[in-house]
């Protein structure tokens, strides 16, 4: 019988904020990010083992699709878990209002 690797422990909101804050200057320069924030289940304290990290982003220079996906993948790698990246400019009015009301900007 092969032992199963145990999953990495779930990160806390404080740990997520710390990682993003530390990487923010690099992310800003590499991807032209002007705003970076966290929203969703982690902010509401409703995160579970299956939760991803919801990150709201605004750009000073709009990226192409590959650059956007590259940022999402890089953030997922940094966090060691899935990151769902949402472009602030693409928010729909109804859900956008809810997201903007709870987002924690870094």
Q: Which residues are catalytic?
A: 52, 54
Residues 6+ away with beta carbon under 8 Å from 43: 13, 54, 102, 103, 104
Which distant-in-sequence residues (6+ apart) come within 8 Å of 101 by Cβ?
A: none
As given in the structure block, the two tokens for residue 78 are 């940094």
């Amino acid at each position: 019988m092969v032992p199963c690797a145990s999953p990495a422990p779930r990160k806390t909101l404080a740990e997520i904020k710390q990682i993003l804050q530390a990487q923010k200057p690099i992310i800003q320069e590499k991807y032209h990010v002007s705003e970076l924030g966290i929203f969703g289940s982690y902010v509401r304290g409703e995160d579970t083992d299956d939760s991803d990290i919801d990150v709201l982003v605004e750009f000073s220079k709009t990226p192409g699709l590959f650059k956007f996906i590259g940022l999402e993948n890089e953030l997922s790698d940094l966090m060691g878990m899935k990151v769902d990246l949402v472009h602030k400019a693409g928010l729909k009015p109804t859900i956008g209002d809810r997201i903007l009301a709870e987002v924690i900007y870094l």
